[in-house]
């Protein structure tokens, strides 16, 4: 069996969306299926992934999340690449990623209608919620309201295109079921996955070498953007660095410009280590060097938080907001008491005050992450594929 993935994003750029796409491909491989990924020209190649790229697009030059002028041209090129690849490789299914990917996959499916290729989709969250988070509808007045309604209708139509939808969290599942009235039978919740072998707690040699002298290390990994909770993260850092000499912060992610200015302006060079972008393969070494993993994001789009699973796999205690999705992953007592930066900082301080409790929570998290392995993800995907009469192996992964 062969699956064609359509991913309108600069894969692989070591950030959350791409990590999810990679984990889905790896999960599918656990039940013996070949994968081909069609994507944008930017991003780096990975040794074990068959990646087909479009040619360079003027106006599309950044790998960070967010809109760019050349996006439409890139999608047209991706459509043509996907069609050529489907004609040549004859995939058994099209697995589309993101809302744009669904549209492109649907067009390819119907241009090759005689092949009856089923289209499945993977979505991290809602399109309208994501655009809202980017400030797309922030201008006051009827135009923004009308534009929001237009995109809501567009998302409704897009959600009707695939035969089945995988969503990343209970939050996104709720959005699709309640706001868009998508049938429950058409949606499968597929939480993010993690390669547990990359976080072997016995491998102490994997720990990164840090310049921080702090006894208690709080790590953040991910995009350093406002929609990912950058303002909250900065507030937490300031609040704790003012009152605690023993707490230091390790920041792994990009873009770094805003955070670098923040560190210099507040004279935090000895308290905050800004690593910047690192290869995803190197991430475990940094996480294994910390005590607590922080997630400052409060998502309105319904996105899950894949970084929590990596924190848990590394045996870290969690500092995050008490969303239903987060609590399902790590338990009800592992989070800030309320949705505020102050509460998040207080939660971290309590963990620093009780290292034994912090260590115990980390050990519990390592055990809790077991059900989110690549193999378990493959099991979920394989069952959906088989329900669509795809030629999966008769023996599903355990």
Question: How does pLDDT run across 38-79, given as a tens digit for each residue?
Answer: 999 999 999 999 999 999 999 998 888 777 889 999 999 999
Q: Considering the chain, what is the average pLDDT of its residues? A: 91
Q: Between residues 117 and 305, which one has the greater pLDDT?
A: 117
CA-closest candidate to residue 186, choices 160, 157, 154: 160
Question: How does pLDDT run across 307-341, given as a tens digit for each residue?
Answer: 999 999 999 999 999 888 788 787 776 678 888 99
10 Å CB burial of residue 347 (0-12, 13-18, 19+) is buried
10 Å CB burial of residue 34 (0-12, 13-18, 19+) is middle
Task: Report the 10 Å Cβ neighbour count for 58.
Answer: 9
CA-closest candidate to residue 148, choices 181, 121, 123, 126: 126
- b vs e for 96-121, b when ≥16 Cβ sit within 10 Å of the residue's Cβ? bbbbbbbbbbbbbbeebeeeebbbbb
Helices (H) and strands (E) in the chain, counts: 14, 12
Q: Where does the pLDDT of residue 213 fall: very low under 50, low under 70, confident under 90, or very high at 90 and above?
A: confident
The whole-number pLDDT of residue 300 equals 53
What are the structural domains of the chain? 2-193+373-387 (3.40.50.2000), 197-371 (3.40.50.2000)
The whole-number pLDDT of residue 333 equals 64
The tokens 């996955």 sit on which residue? 193
* DSSP character string of 284-335: HHHHTT-SEEEE----SS----HHHHHHHHTT-EEEE---HHHHHHH-TTSS
162 pLDDT more than 70: yes
CA-closest candidate to residue 305, choices 105, 168, 195: 168
The whole-number pLDDT of residue 203 equals 52
Residue 294 near residue 344 (C-beta atoms within 8 A): yes
The whole-number pLDDT of residue 357 equals 94
The whole-number pLDDT of residue 394 equals 46
206 pLDDT more than 80: no
The whole-number pLDDT of residue 148 equals 86
98 pLDDT more than 90: yes
CA dihedral 69, 73, 78, 79 (to 10 degrees): 130
Task: Report the 10 Å Cβ neighbour count for 153.
Answer: 11
CA dihedral 232, 342, 328, 7 (to 10 degrees): 0
Task: Tell me how long the chain is.
Answer: 398
Q: What are phi and psi of 223, to 5 degrees?
A: -75, 130
Task: Report the 10 Å Cβ neighbour count for 257.
Answer: 9
396 pLDDT more than 60: no
Average pLDDT over residues 11-20: 93
182 pLDDT more than 50: yes
Average pLDDT over residues 200-223: 78
395 pLDDT more than 70: no
The residues facing 35 across adjacent strands are 3
Among 94-103, 128-137, 142-151, 168-177, the range scoring the smallest mean pLDDT is: 128-137
Among 148-152, 258-262, 356-360, the range scoring the smallest mean pLDDT is: 148-152
The whole-number pLDDT of residue 252 equals 96
């Amino acid at each position: 069996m062969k699956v064609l993935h359509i991913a309108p994003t600069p894969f692989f750029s070591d950030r959350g969306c791409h990590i999810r796409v990679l984990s889905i491909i790896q999960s599918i491989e656990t039940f013996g299926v070949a994968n081909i990924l069609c994507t944008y020209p930017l991003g780096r190649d990975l040794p074990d992934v068959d990646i087909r790229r479009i040619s360079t697009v003027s106006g599309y030059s950044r790998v960070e999340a967010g809109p760019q002028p050349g996006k439409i041209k890139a999608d047209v090129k991706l459509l043509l690449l996907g069609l050529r690849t489907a004609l040549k490789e004859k995939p058994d299914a099209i697995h589309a990623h993101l809302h744009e990917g669904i549209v492109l996959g649907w067009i390819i499916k119907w241009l090759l209608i005689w092949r009856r290729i089923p289209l499945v989709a993977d979505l991290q969250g809602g399109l309208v919620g994501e655009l809202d988070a980017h400030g797309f509808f922030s201008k006051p007045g009827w135009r923004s309201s009308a534009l929001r309604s237009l995109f809501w209708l567009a998302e409704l139509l897009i959600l009707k295109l695939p035969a089945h939808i995988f969503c990343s969290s209970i939050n996104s599942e709720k959005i699709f079921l309640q706001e868009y009235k998508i049938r429950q039978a058409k949606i499968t919740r597929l939480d993010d996955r993690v390669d547990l072998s990359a976080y072997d707690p016995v491998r102490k040699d994997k720990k990164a070498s840090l310049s921080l002298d702090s006894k208690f290390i709080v790590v953040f990994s991910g995009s350093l953007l406002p929609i990912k909770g950058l303002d909250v993260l900065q507030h937490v850092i300031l609040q704790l660095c003012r009152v605690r000499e023993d707490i230091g912060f390790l920041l792994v992610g990009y873009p770094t410009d805003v955070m670098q200015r923040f560190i210099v302006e507040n004279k935090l060079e000895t308290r905050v280590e800004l690593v910047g972008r690192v290869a995803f393969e190197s991430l475990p070494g940094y996480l294994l060097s910390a005590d607590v993993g922080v997630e400052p994001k409060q998502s309105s789009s319904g996105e899950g938080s894949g970084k929590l699973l990596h924190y848990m796999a590394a045996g870290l205690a969690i500092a995050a907001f008490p969303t239903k999705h987060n609590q399902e992953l790590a338990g009800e007592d592992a989070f800030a008491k309320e949705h505020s930066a102050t509460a998040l900082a207080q939660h971290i301080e309590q963990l620093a005050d009780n290292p034994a409790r912090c260590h115990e929570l980390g050990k519990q998290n390592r055990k809790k992450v077991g059900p989110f392995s690549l193999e378990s993800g493959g099991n979920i995907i394989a069952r959906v594929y088989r329900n669509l009469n795809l030629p999966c192996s008769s023996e599903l992964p355990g």
